[in-house]
Amino acid sequence: MALLEVQGLKLALRGHSSGLRFGRARRIEILKGIDFTLDAGESLGIVGESGSGKTSLGRTIIRLHEPSAGSVRFADREITHLNASALRGLRKDMQMIFQDPMSSLNPRRRIGPILAQPLHAFDRRTKAETVQRVAQLLDLVALPRSFAARYPHELSGGQRQRVGIARALALEPKLVIADEIVSGLDVSTQAQILALLRSLKERLGLALIFISHDLSVVRVLCDRVLVLLAGEVVEQGPCEEVFRKPRHPYTRELLEAIPLPDVDPDWLDAVAVDP
C-alpha cells in the first residue's frame, strides 16, 4: 500500500520582487500537476536542473507551501488542507532535511539540546530518557556521544549533516525528505553519508525522498527516480531502467552532463560553447 500519494499537485507562488515593476505581482505556476506514489520503505530520487521545482515539491508535500490544486495523501489520510494544529501531529511522521546544515542548526545551542528539541515538542520525557535518546541518535549516525556537548561550528560539514539527519530521525518518522544534503560535501564524506542513509533506510524501514541534481548520487540510494523539468514530471521509473535506457531527451541530457570519472578528452567538445 502506498505511504504517500501525490495527485495533480500544483503550486503557484507570487513572482519575485524584480517582476514588480511590470505591474502587480503575478502568480507563477511552479508545479504544474505532479503525480507519483511512494510505498513504505521505498526511496524515490527527484532530479532536475536548478529551478525545476525540486525543493518546492518537497516543501509542498510537507505543507511548508500551500498547494493551489491537487491532493497529497499520507498513510491513507488526506493531508492537503490540514489546519495548523493537525499539521503539527503530521510533522512527527514526515521530516525534511535541508542542504545547508549550518543555517538550520541554531549556532548558540549545543548538539545535545538541538537533538532533544523535537523530543520535547512532542512528548513528555524525563531528563534521563531524553539524554538516553540523544545518545541513541548520535550512535545511529555514527557520531561520538561526546558530540552532544559541542556547538555546530565545532563540527565539520559532514558531521553537521549527520546531526541534521539525527535530528530528522528523532521522532522516528515514516518519511524523510532530504534536499541536496550531500551536494556540498567532498567525495569521501559524501560516500559516508550515502552509506549511512542506505543502512538507516534498511534498518528503520524509512521511506525516503531524495532530492538532488546529481543522478549518480540518486543511483546509489534510490529505488525509483522522477525527473522534473520546469515543474512537470517528464519521466519516472525504476533507477535501473531510467539510467540504462532514458526515454525522455531531457533525462539523457542530464545523464550526459555528469562527468563520470573516466578519462575522455572528447567529452567537453561534445557540447557547444554557447549556453
Ligand X SMILES: Nc1ncnc2c1ncn2[C@@H]1O[C@H](COP(=O)(O)OP(=O)(O)OP(=O)(O)O)[C@@H](O)[C@H]1O
Residues at the contact surface with ligand X, assessed by CB under 6 A: 13-14, 16, 30, 48, 50-56, 186, 213
Which C-beta is closer to Mg ion: that of 116 or that of 228?
228
Distance from CA of residue 148 to its chain's centroid?
A: 25
Q: Which CB, 167 or 213, lies closer to ligand X?
A: 213
Residues 6+ apart with CB under 8 A from 111: 138, 147, 148, 149, 150, 151, 152, 155, 163
Q: Of ligand X, Mg ion, other proteins, none, which one sits near residue 30, judging by CB under 5 to 8 A according to partner kind?
A: ligand X
Cell of 48: 532536475
Separation in Å, CA 211 to CA 73, 98, 165, 196: 20, 10, 14, 16
CA distance 181 to 190: 9
16 binds, among Mg ion, other proteins, ligand X, none (CB under 5 to 8 A by kind): ligand X
Residue 41 interacts, among other proteins, Mg ion, ligand X, none and using kind-specific CB cut-offs from 5 to 8 Å, with: none
The binding track of 255-274 with respect to other proteins, each residue x by CB under 8 A or -, is x-xxxxxxxx--xxx-xxxx
- Which one, 162 or 213, has the nearer CB to ligand X? 213
Q: Which of 6, 9, 31, 55 binds Mg ion (CB under 5 A)?
A: 55
Residue 60 near Mg ion by CB under 5 A: no
The reply on whether position 145 binds other proteins by CB under 8 A is no
Does residue number 131 form part of the binding site for other proteins (CB under 8 A)?
A: no
Distance CA 52, CA 230 (A): 4
73-80, Cβ contacts within 8 angstroms, sequence gap of 24 or more: 73/2, 73/4, 73/5, 73/6, 73/7, 74/3, 74/4, 74/5, 74/175, 75/3, 75/174, 76/1
Q: Is 52 in the site for Mg ion (CB under 5 A)?
A: no
- Helices 157-169 and 187-204, packing angle to 10 deg: 10
Closest to ligand X by CB, 16 or 153: 16
Query: Of the listed pieces 92-100, 105-113, 171-179, 215-223, which binds other proteins according to CB under 8 A?
Result: 215-223
Query: Taking Cα atoms as reference points, which of 224, 200, 181, 173 lies closest to residue 37?
Result: 224
56 interacts with Mg ion by CB under 5 A: no
- Report the alpha-carbon distance of residue 81 to residue 84 in Å, rounded: 9
- Output the nine-digit C-alpha cell for 128: 534521563
The residue nearest Mg ion at its CB is 55
Could you tell me which residues are beta bridge partners of residue 47? Answer: 227
Q: CB-wise, 180 or 235, nearer to Mg ion?
A: 180
102 binds, among ligand X, Mg ion, other proteins, none (CB under 5 to 8 A by kind): none
User: Rule CB under 8 A: is residue 221 a binding residue for other proteins?
Assistant: yes
Looking at 220, 232, 237, 248, which residue binds other proteins (CB under 8 A)? 220
Using CB under 5 A as the criterion, which residues of the chain lie in contact with Mg ion when the complex forms? 55
